[in-house]
Amino acid sequence: MKNEGKPVNTLETFDPSGVGLDNGNLYGLPCNDDAQIIVFGVPWEVTVSYHEGTAQGPQRVLEASPQLDLYDLDNPDGWRQGIFMPPIPQHLRQLNAPMRKMAHRLMQAMEEGVAIAKQPLLQEALDQVNHACEQMNGWIYSQASQALDLGKRVGVIGGDHSVPLGYLRALAERYPRFGILHIDAHADLRLAYQGFRYSHASIMNNALALPQIDRLVQVGIRDLCHDEVALIDQSAGRIVTYYDATLKDNCYQGMTWLAQCEAIVAHLPPQVYVSFDVDGLDPKLCPHTGTPVPGGLELEEVFCLLRQVVRSGRQIIGFDLSETGNGEWDGNVGARIVYKLCALMGLSA
């Protein structure tokens, strides 16, 4: 009855040039689960090891999104696909808070040199954190699987970078072979960093446990450890890493960014998943991200790279945007990234 006497706004009647609607959905689009693209927000940052706030990332992106104009140079009618963000799961938000505190206590103990395995209470706490992370992974796996079975294309907004693992598992059940294009300041190849099996710093190590992922191409990396470099070097080409310093040095020597993008994309298989950690960007763009690092990429440089994926004939099969901080500007930038990814994913379908 609440719409009595009022026109029902649908995608068919929606004016993309009108005032942004604050209707609770991404970009103010009048969509529900009949949209072609479903974007799940995951308010999770249990294992973050530096700044807190990324659990608010999905909400910040949602709040900023109606302020965007919807004309996209690559896909002007991309909004017609329909983009829908289901309610951000409160049960995960409520679970995140106590688990984050517990994980923080464990990190402090580790930094003080305490052997967690020799302290039964601390080991129990570690087990609880790992179990909670498994619950989060199970939730996104279930939600993504249901959407994929309905023929939807799926995106995920974190939260810290641990959040897309369940979605990657769902994709691995549907694609016998695909690659990951990984934008990040960090390699995220640590094995169970700080004892957390599903650490944000271990997402790509965990992803590579899926045999369907036959190539990981990393771009913008500039903060990593010796063990990660060894893993990259010993991967027999399964991991291809483009360090930020090398990319910039190539530019200084006269290699165009487009040429570098073409070389990067050439390593990817026909189906590509994009994992976009915003700390891969220059920190001025998302200053409240969880683990900022000097240097990094400009937003249009990343968009050029993503555009080249589509131009090459490859298909973007899914994406995540992770580590968006709890700031208005961070949400604004994050909303633009998600919209571009949706537009390009639509072009490559």
3-state secondary structure the chain: CCCCCCCCCCCCCCCCCCCCCCCCCHHHCCCCCCCCEEEEEECCCCCCCCCCCHHHHHHHHHHHHHHCCCCCCCCCCHHHHCEECCCCCHHHHHHHHHHHHHHHHHHHHHHCCCCHHHCHHHHHHHHHHHHHHHHHHHHHHHHHHHHHHCCCEEEEEECCCCCCHHHHHHHHCCCCCEEEEEECCECCCCCCHHHCCCCHHHHHHHHCCCCCEEEEEEEEECECCHHHHHHHHCCCCCEEEEEHHHHHHHHHCCCCHHHHHHHHHCCCCCEEEEEEEHHHECCCCCCCCCCCCCCCECHHHHHHHHHHHHHCCCEEEEEEEECCCCCHHHHHHHHHHHHHHHHHHHHCC
Tell me: the pLDDT tens digits for 144-185?
Answer: 999 999 999 999 999 999 999 999 999 999 999 999 999 999
Which tens digits make up the pLDDT trace of 207-237? 999 999 999 999 999 999 999 999 999 999 9
Backbone angles phi, psi at 180, to 5 degrees: -115, 125
Task: Classify residue 22: in a domain, yes or no.
Answer: no
Q: Give the CA diameter of the chain.
A: 68
Residue 323 belongs to what domain range? Answer: 29-347
Q: Is residue 155 part of a domain?
A: yes
Instruction: Tell me the CATH number at 274.
Output: 3.40.800.10
- For the CA atoms of 93, 99, 100, 106, the dihedral, rounded to the nearest 10 degrees, stands at -170
Cα angle 96, 167, 291 (rounded to 5 degrees) comes to: 50
pTM of the entire structure? 0.95
Q: Is residue 122 part of a domain?
A: yes
Q: What percent of the chain has pLDDT over 70?
A: 97
Residue 193 has pLDDT above 90, yes or no: no
238-264 average pLDDT score: 98
- Has residue 195 got a pLDDT over 50? yes
Contact 260, 165 (CB under 8 A): no
pLDDT at 183: 98
Please list, residue by residue across 190-211, b when 16 or more beta carbons sit within 10 angstroms of its beta carbon and e when fewer do: beebbbbbbbbbbbbbbbbebe
The pLDDT mean for the chain works out to: 94
Residue 72 predicted with pLDDT over 50: yes
Residue 10 within a domain: no
Mean pLDDT, rounded, for 35-64: 95
- Within a domain: 9: no
Residue type, 172: A
- Is 80 exceeded by the pLDDT of residue 263? yes
Tokens of 33: 């689960």
User: Residue 6 falls within a domain, yes or no?
Assistant: no
86 backbone dihedrals φ, ψ, rounded to 5°: -60, 165
The tens digit of pLDDT for each residue in 279-312 reads: 999 999 999 999 999 999 999 999 999 999 999 9
How many domains are contained in the chain?
A: 1
Strands 153-158 and 315-322 turn out to be: parallel
Asked whether residue 18 is assigned to any structural domain, the reply reads no
| Separation of first and last alpha carbons in the chain | 38
pLDDT band at 202 (very low <50, low <70, confident <90, very high): very high
What CA–CA distances, in Å, run from 96 to 110, 129, 184, 203, 291? 21, 10, 23, 18, 18
